[in-house]
Amino acid sequence: MRILLAQINPLVGDIAGNTEQVLALAAAARDRDAADLVVFPELTLTGYPPEDLLLRPEFIARVGAALERLRVELRGITAIVGYPQASVGGLYNVAGVIGDGELIAEYAKQTLPNYSVFDEKRYFRPGQAPCVFQHQGRRIGLTICEDIWEEGPARQAAEAGAEVLININASPYHQGKQAQREELVGMRAREHGLAILYVNLVGGQDELVFDGGSFAVDAAGSVVRRAPAFEPAELLVELTRESPSEPLRPVPGQLAAVLQEEAAVYQALVLGVRDYVRKNGFNGAVLGLSGGIDSALTLAVAVDALGAEWVEAVLMPSRYTARMSIEDAEEEARRLGVVSRIIPIEPAFQAFLGLLAEPFAGSTPDVTEENIQARCRGVILMAISNKSGKILLTTGNKSEMAVGYATLYGDMAGGFAPIKDCAKTLVYRLARWRNRSAPVIPERVLERAPSAELAPDQTDQDSLPPYALLDEILRRYIELDQGVAEMVAAGLPEAEVRRVARLVDRNEYKRRQAPPGVRITSRAFGRDRRYPITSGF
């Protein structure tokens, strides 16, 4: 028996377009006699996550029409697709088996995740029963995504006589996720003596990136086939057995490598930017290029995602901008083949200082004047974005967003934040990783002390702890939910821990107004971490 795992990139809400993908891929597999069964990811027809689209009756009706079309048009091959289905008692997250005019079997997801980025209990009711269907004389069990993380659904399928288990997924990426998936699925396979085929979604959806990496494990839990990550792919799995008493086993074959951390994160950023720009219909991207590390990495990601001809860089020097910053920014734009322009902000800055001369009379310059410079840049970039139809990419990193080292309506202004979930230390690692294939980021950018260049001789460490220390405190406080006492007990300096924790807490209001950005950690700002702005905790 040959099963094709179809790792596709659907568009949320595009029911007709997603249905076309299913029909086209299934027909191609049938016509070249590639497989007997084609398996698509979770909520194939709607994309994932469809969120409150699921509350619209018209949306669910369109899904029903798409299912009827699949029933009529899928001929000569069987497909497993995912969709929401309204039934007695509510809405269910369903996997359906369709072929030659029949809806052969259906399975309703039993384990509904309601943590981190997941909110499925808002929309779905849990299923109760296993599903095992016959195909070519074999008994195939079905589960959906989170079901495989719990013991019950796989055990039910095994007890119902499944000889192989298929698990369809919309599992978003974060660092280390592929290893977790493979370890968990391997454990389930060993528990029940069953081969398991795991098919995953691929593509960017708002801040989420789905990394694909579909795979097959044998009954011993060993990964014997694996699709590439971060790209659409078809993984053909042939199942066989040496004797009737032996379990079905996937024949070893294509085994794409698991990417190392920097490579995986970088590919997630590229895919997230590409799909956000293209799926939302922008004419490309524009960003401010400062000569610093954050904008340098963001530019490289944008070019790798969209192509140099679709990216524009704007240099906006101020009275405090070092000549080397302009030189380095121009050099990076040249190396990446990007059109760039220089628009000094001094005339706009002087105009604002003139307008504010009376209310500022008697005061001394402080962070207010620094923020005015950042907002001058924001106005320039947003104007270019509006006029050109290109999305403005912001360049702030997670370390800055965490402690509020960013200007509302200034450098935070924009439509998408590619490195929003990347700590500053990770930004440097990614930049060096990208330079291994081609030195697009000048070495001086990697070596000099980071600075916002909004005041004379300014560096980030004038206001913040060293980034190695800051990022460790932030990792523990944000991603691990550790308290001050726990971090101090681990050897971190108490004064800095308390200062950083206060900065994180008091800047929630800024983060609520920040653009979405690619999620690459297990706890990103946004839907992952929901803290009150006003709190006495």
Which residues are catalytically annotated? 42, 109, 145
C-alpha distances out from residue 483 to 405, 472, 502, 533, Å? 22, 13, 12, 19
Rounded Cα distance, 118 and 97, in Å: 25
C-alpha distances out from residue 461 to 133, 451, 470, Å? 62, 8, 10
Q: Which of 198, 146, 202 is nearest to 168 (CA)?
A: 198
Angle between helices 293-306 and 424-437 (to 10 degrees): 50
Contacts of 4 (CB under 8 A, 6+ apart): 29, 34, 35, 37, 38, 39, 234, 235, 236, 237
Q: Which of 370, 309, 356 is nearest to 336 (CA)?
A: 309
First to last CA, the chain: 58
Q: Which two tokens stand for residue 485?
A: 């006492």
Contacts of 363 (CB under 8 A, 6+ apart): none
Contacts of 221 (CB under 8 A, 6+ apart): 185, 186, 187, 189, 190
Rounded Cα distance, 82 and 108, in Å: 10
Rounded Cα distance, 357 and 374, in Å: 18
Q: Is the dihedral of CA 57, 62, 67, 72 positive or negative?
A: positive
Burial-class residue 330 by CB neighbours within 10 Å (0-12, 13-18, 19+).
middle
